[in-house]
Chain A
Amino acid sequence: MRRRYAAVLIAAALFTGACGTEPEPPTEKVAVQAVVQAEGEHNDTDVMYLQMMIAHHEQGLQMVRLAAKRAQRSDVRTMAAAVDAVQSDEVTMMKAWLTKWSAPTTVDHAPDAHADHGGLPATGPNEIAALRKAKGPAVDTTFLNLFLAHQHSAVEMAGTETTGGKNAEVKALAQRIRDSRTDQIKQMLNLLNG
């Protein structure tokens, strides 16, 4: 418990200067990578998982940023904005870990190279284009369905890391991703049909 408090206090210290009464723009929110390090040993699965999740997150961020602007329902916009905030931090953190390991932060992105077995993001340019083209309430339903597929894919990808990864912090990240996305799938099904 004492270590946890220490971490929070340091996080608080990082923000003291910027934490006035005005909400900061989202881009200035991030400081997680400064305090969370993936120390200890890692293996190829850790590296591959982080690289794939960065690519996956970046496609997800394209979708939530479109939805945060264009969805008609405020609850859908709020959900999208919150995912943007959390996943942007995760991307920053994952990139910092890979950089510290002197590993590339990008993955070979050949279309459909591994799409059948969970190797690459479920969503690609077609899906992003469909979302950009949607109008009216179809923005909300198109986004929710696409993001459902996206997060189902994130849950599945987490399994490769929790079983084959080595680094404790990366495995914990995969578990958090699995748990939060599973809960988010439930939330989105409720938004879709509630």
Chain B
Amino acid sequence: MRRSIAYPLVVLGAVGSTLAVMSPAQAHGYVSTPPSRQALCASGDVKNCGPIEFEPQSVEGRKGLRSCDGGNAPFSPLADDNRNWPATAVGNKVTFSWVKRARHRTLNWEYSIGGKIIATVPGNNAQPDSVVNHEIDLSGFRGRQTVLAVWNIGDTPMAFYNCVDLNIGGGGGNDSRPPVAEVKPPVEEVKPPVEEVEPPVQEVNPPAQAAPAPEAAAPEEEQGKSGTEWARNTAYRTGDVVTYQGARYTCRQSHTSLVTWEPSIYTLALWMPV
């Protein structure tokens, strides 16, 4: 059997190149939940935000600013209050989660509403973990509020800015979640044992017309229909059949399709030629 096949790259490039991805020169951190404005832009919940859609972690500006865009003109849609930003319903205590890329030494994290600082979390000039959670008490506030969440860096003059629109006391989605586990130095073995991966959660031999997924999918996500043309952002189940560039493929691993996850020589874990 020939084992050395050069797969033409242009075929795959066709899909990838439609996505205008910027390569952030420096990528740092942002509030992922409750979603900051940059998270809402990156998730597609708020459209036409410009380049911030591809680098929500990059809203960097000098310390001491009070702006949602950190003074970055390309990110100015973040500071546009007329964009009708969706406000997340929360209770009086809210856990803010930061996703960090570069773990700068940290002076502190500051949370403010209307220019008034409501909480400061010390950073002790240490490098934080890649995810940082803070539970902030917002009990002095009601209704729609915009929280400015700032990560002040310890060893540069810079800070990272996030505006988080909340509806406080408005049903409390976030508040009902159990506390998020704190990241602490490992108490257990650093290297977990190699685990046997159980077969993924999937039915054996599902019917060609798959039953609806047991839980609601993301709002704009399509449920895949067997026998149709492959599409992005579509939930496929094991056994579904798609057509792609004139050939037919069977789904062998339930998934929601992404850019570059179309049937190809690189995605044999997902799709098998029929």
Contact = CB atoms under 8 A, between A and B. Distances in A.
B50 interface: no
B23 A158 contact: yes
A65 B197 contact: yes
B261 A4 contact: no
Contacts of B267: 86
A139 B143 CA distance: 29
Interface in B33-51: 33-35, 39-40, 42-45
A190 B181 CA distance: 21
Interface string B219-235: 11100000000001100
Interface string A1-34: 1011111111111110001011101110111101
Contact of B103 (A116, A135, A155, A184): A116
A163 B33 CA distance: 33
Contact of A180 (B201, B253, B259, B272): B259
B40 to A, nearest CB: 8
Contacts of B42: 185-186, 189
A118 B204 contact: no
B5 interface: yes
A13 B1 contact: yes
Contact of A175 (B5, B13, B221): B13
B229 to A, nearest CB: 17
Contacts of A73: 215
Contacts of A115: 102-103, 127
B214 interface: yes
A62 B131 contact: no
Interface residues of A, number: 104
A103 interface: no
A178 B215 CA distance: 29
A98 interface: no
A12 B272 contact: yes
Interface string A60-100: 00100100110001110111011011101100000000000
B104 A116 contact: yes
Nearest to B217: A75
B203 to A, nearest CB: 9
A29 B252 contact: yes
Contacts of A22: 204-205
Given A3-B7, A126-B186, A182-B259, A29 B268 contact: yes
B88 A193 contact: yes
B140 interface: no
Contacts of B218: 75, 187, 190-191, 194
Contacts of A62: 192
Interface in A153-194: 153, 155-156, 158-159, 162-163, 168-169, 172, 175-176, 178-180, 182-187, 189-194
B9 A172 contact: yes
Contacts of A179: 15-16, 19, 21, 259-260
A127 B27 contact: no
Nearest to B238: A23
Given A36-B265, A130-B184, A175-B16, A149 B130 contact: yes
Contacts of A12: 272-273
Contacts of A6: 5
B144 interface: no
A137 B202 CA distance: 21
Contact of B32 (A23, A137, A189): A189
A85 B200 contact: yes
A149 B256 CA distance: 20
A44 B21 CA distance: 25
B208 interface: no
A65 B181 CA distance: 18
Contacts of B7: 3-4, 7, 35-36
Contacts of A31: 268
A153 B261 contact: no
8 contacts: A75-B218, A81-B200, A81-B254, A84-B197, A149-B131, A152-B101, A192-B33, A193-B40
Q: What are the nearest 8 A-B pairs in CB distance?
A: A81-B200, A82-B255, A189-B43, A129-B186, A85-B269, A149-B130, A159-B23, A134-B181
Given A75-B215, A152-B101, 6 more contacts: A6-B5, A10-B1, A36-B265, A144-B32, A182-B259, A187-B258
